[in-house]
């Protein structure tokens, strides 16, 4: 083959490859829905990989006991359905190609809990491992980041911030039976109860908790659930450090 012709082919191949990469979307928002499939989503870490191509390995982190799980990519793409977890030597290996750069996530949903009463899953993505726990009330997910445009794992532990709205009064304001918390870009949440004598932990029952928030400024609006009237509004400056910002809606 003529050397000049070979160089031309090489350049064209490179151009086509770059063009294909440019057409692949980049997800720059790390937000994951608070719940999917009628269950709350719990965060168990972050893994960075270099390309869209991933080798995903899944096995039971303890003694196999008939745990059955589903595994989804980005919430709605089926990877495993009704899979029984085995030990490491019989682990499930899947070659999967993500369809976007930046932030992705892998979500586990338990179908059965086996004899031990919980699922403890060992997940490996391109050789990087993390342990995920699920039960019949909560899903478990891991973020998988393919860095582009300053997207990266904030920390490989639970490091993203949360904003929680809560109420400390059993007597609601006149005409307001419960509160709705709104943050732009997120689904509204309801504060449907109250806590007295103690400040609740982040994510407590009857509170509205917005999780997995990167550094930034978040404007919120509090409305009465039984009307569209704005009860209060404000702004929260999130530093990006692992912190829960708690706001008492009754005493804003």
Predicted local confidence at residue 158, as pLDDT: 45
Give the CA angle between residues 99, 112, 144 to the nearest 5°: 25
Q: Mean pLDDT over residues 60-80, rounded?
A: 92
Cα–Cα distance measured from residue 36 to residue 161, given in angstroms and rounded to the nearest whole number: 20
Higher pLDDT, 151 or 55: 55
Q: So what CATH class is 161-251? A: mainly beta
DSSP string, 15-52: HHHHHHHHTS-EE------SEETTEEEEEEEEEE-SSS
57: burial class by Cβ within 10 Å (0-12, 13-18, 19+)? middle
Predicted confidence (pLDDT) at residue 169 exceeds the cutoff of 90 = no
Q: Mean pLDDT over residues 102-113, rounded?
A: 95
DSSP string, 122-179: EEEETTEEEEEEE-SSEEEEEEEEE--TT---S-SSS--EEEEEE---SSPPTT-SSE
Predicted confidence (pLDDT) at residue 17 exceeds the cutoff of 70 = no
Please give the model's pTM, rounded to 2 decimal places: 0.59
- Average pLDDT of the chain to the nearest whole number: 83
Higher pLDDT, 105 or 162: 105
Q: Hey, which of 12-16, 32-36, 107-111, 146-150 has the most confident mean pLDDT? A: 107-111
Q: Hey, which of 15-19, 50-54, 247-251 has the most confident mean pLDDT? A: 50-54
Predicted local confidence at residue 4, as pLDDT: 55
Domain borders along the chain are 26-146, 161-251
């Amino acid at each position: 083959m003529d050397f000049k012709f070979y160089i031309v082919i090489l350049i064209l191949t490179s151009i086509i490859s770059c063009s294909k990469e440019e057409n692949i979307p980049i997800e720059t928002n790390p937000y994951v829905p608070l719940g999917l499939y009628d269950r709350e989503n719990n965060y168990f870490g972050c893994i960075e990989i270099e390309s869209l191509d991933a080798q995903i390995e899944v096995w039971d982190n303890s003694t196999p006991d008939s745990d059955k799980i589903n595994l989804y990519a980005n919430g709605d793409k089926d990877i495993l359905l009704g899979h029984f977890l085995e030990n490491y030597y019989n682990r499930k290996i899947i070659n999967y190609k993500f369809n976007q750069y930046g932030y992705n996530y892998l979500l586990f949903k338990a179908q059965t809990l086996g004899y031990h009463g919980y699922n403890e899953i060992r997940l490996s993505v391109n050789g990087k491992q993390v342990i995920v726990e699920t039960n019949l009330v909560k899903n478990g997910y891991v973020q998988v980041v393919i860095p582009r445009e300053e997207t990266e794992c904030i920390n490989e532990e639970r490091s993203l911030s949360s904003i929680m709205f809560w109420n400390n009064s059993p007597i609601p304001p006149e005409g307001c039976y419960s509160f709705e918390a709104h943050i732009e870009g997120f689904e509204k949440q309801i504060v449907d109860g109250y806590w007295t004598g103690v400040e609740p932990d982040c994510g407590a029952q009857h509170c509205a908790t917005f999780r997995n928030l990167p550094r930034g400024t978040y404007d919120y609006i509090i409305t009465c659930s039984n009307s569209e009237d704005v009860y209060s509004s404000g702004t929260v400056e999130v530093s990006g450090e692992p912190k829960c910002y708690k706001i008492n809606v009754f005493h804003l």
